[in-house]
Amino acid sequence: MRGPFRPLIACLLAALLAMLLTGVAYAQTPASIVGPGESIQRAVAAAEPGDTIVVRGTHHEAVVIRKDGIKLVGQDAVLKSPDEPRTPCFEAAGFCVLGDVNFQTGTVSDYVQDVTISGFTIRGFEGFGIVALGARDAKFVKNRAFDNGEYGITAFASKGTQVLANTTSGSGEAGIYIGDSPRANATVAANDTYGNLFGIFVRNARGGSISANQVHNNCVGMMFLADAPGPAGNFGVRANAVRNNTRSCPAGEEGPSLSGVGIALWGARDMEIEGNTILDNVPSGPSEFHGGVALVRGFGGTAPKDNLVQGNTILRNRPDIFWDKSGSGNRFVANVCRTSEPNRLCGS
């Protein structure tokens, strides 16, 4: 039996994504054009709020944006790490969209708003390809973030972040990350993320939509982690293809060994996992837990609660659904799957 929600969800998501993408202003007359070897940062410093800057060619620099409404549009543009990257961000980053943030407490006193970065390849930075920190309604569209030390594209202490139609790969931790954002209202849609520890990682963040992404060949496809340090959940996860997340990542200072996990709700709550295709997520090495969809307690003992797993195709995983029996209000409805721990979750 096919999941009953998939056709409607797919149509709605396609319409939503089209509206989001057409909202990005590519056709505006640029305030400046930055050619190969010229300084993007200098153009940003000279720009007025709301200006569009077109960037071409390869650039070795780290760029910080603290003005509202700046639009950076890459045309065959590549950003690589300089020899000594120095930015006010807490680690080396290609692009840093930075509000007024207390780095000791994480408190945001003033958000930088409506910044758009599109069309860039960002490669080889120690920390992040793109990071939003204290940003509201930032948009990251059709970028490619490769081989960055920790995260490809990420948002901390931010609201309304949109991560649309990007490709992220080779990140030491997550291809796409939403964290430390209790009112995240984030949209992560139509991205391709592979070859990372986590394809998509949500931690200490609540609220948003994750849809129509291709998430494959990571150690964990998607992770929603509570207790480290706060709650995670209230995301709709719909119409994603989560497959072949078979890489093996050994235990480190911040976490256990992980492999063969499709979507993990690690102490998360109020999640809706609907209409996804979750296939062939099988561990290739040691793993704290594994499965196509896995619901387990968080680091601090918080149990997954009030999560709905409905109308998904979950096949050829090991097992298709894993639940450690903790928490309450977790429901498994009308999924196409064959194996579960405990038994009979596929028949719910």
DSSP strand pairing (331-333 vs 308-310) = parallel
Same-domain check for residues 7 and 127: no
Give yes or no for residue 312 having a pLDDT over 50: yes
Same-domain check for residues 4 and 145: no
Name the 3-class secondary structure at 85. Answer: coil
For residue 97, list its beta bridge partners: 65, 132
Same-domain check for residues 191 and 88: no
What distance in Å separates the CA atoms of residue 75 and residue 119, rounded to the nearest whole number? 6
What distance in Å separates the CA atoms of residue 16 and residue 39, rounded to the nearest whole number? 35
14: containing domain? 1-30+184-348
| Domain-terminating residue out of 172, 200, 222 | 172
Same-domain check for residues 269 and 200: yes
96 found inside a domain: yes
Same-domain check for residues 20 and 158: no
Name the 3-class secondary structure at 234. Answer: strand
Q: What is the pLDDT of residues 46-101, one digit of tens each?
A: 999 999 999 999 999 999 999 999 999 999 999 999 877 566 675 689 999 999 99
178 found inside a domain: no
For residue 28, what pLDDT is reported? 54
Can you give the pTM of this predicted structure? 0.91
Same-domain check for residues 135 and 11: no
Total tally of structural domains belonging to the chain: 2
**Residues of the chain by 3-state class (helix, strand, coil), percent to 5:** 5, 45, 45
What distance in Å separates the CA atoms of residue 176 and residue 174, rounded to the nearest whole number? 5
User: What is the chain's mean pLDDT, rounded?
Assistant: 90
H helices within 199-249, ranges in order?
none
Same-domain check for residues 230 and 168: no
Q: What is the pLDDT of residues 186-218, one digit of tens each?
A: 999 999 999 999 999 999 999 999 999 999 999
What distance in Å separates the CA atoms of residue 226 and residue 270, rounded to the nearest whole number? 12
What distance in Å separates the CA atoms of residue 91 and residue 85, rounded to the nearest whole number? 9
Same-domain check for residues 224 and 323: yes
303 found inside a domain: yes
Q: Which long-range contacts (CB under 8 A, 24 or more apart) does 190-194 make?
A: 190/17, 190/164, 190/165, 191/163, 191/164, 191/165, 191/166, 191/167, 192/166, 192/167, 192/168, 193/152, 193/167, 193/168, 193/169, 193/218, 194/168, 194/169, 194/218
Same-domain check for residues 99 and 164: yes
For residue 142, what pLDDT is reported? 98
DSSP strand pairing (277-279 vs 135-136) = unpaired
Give yes or no for residue 12 having a pLDDT over 70: no
Same-domain check for residues 50 and 195: no
Same-domain check for residues 83 and 194: no
Q: How confident is the model at residue 123 (pLDDT cuts 50, 70, 90)?
A: very high
Ranges 31-40, 240-249, 266-275: which has the least confidence: 31-40
Of 13, 15, 23, 14, the C-alpha closest to 139 is 23
- Per-residue buried b or exposed e for 195-234, using 16+ beta carbons within 10 Å of the residue's own CB: bbbbbbbbbbbbbbbbbbbebbbbbbbbbbbbbbebbbbb
Q: In the chain, what percentage of residues exceed pLDDT 90?
A: 82
Same-domain check for residues 23 and 37: no
CA-only gyration radius of the chain, Å: 20
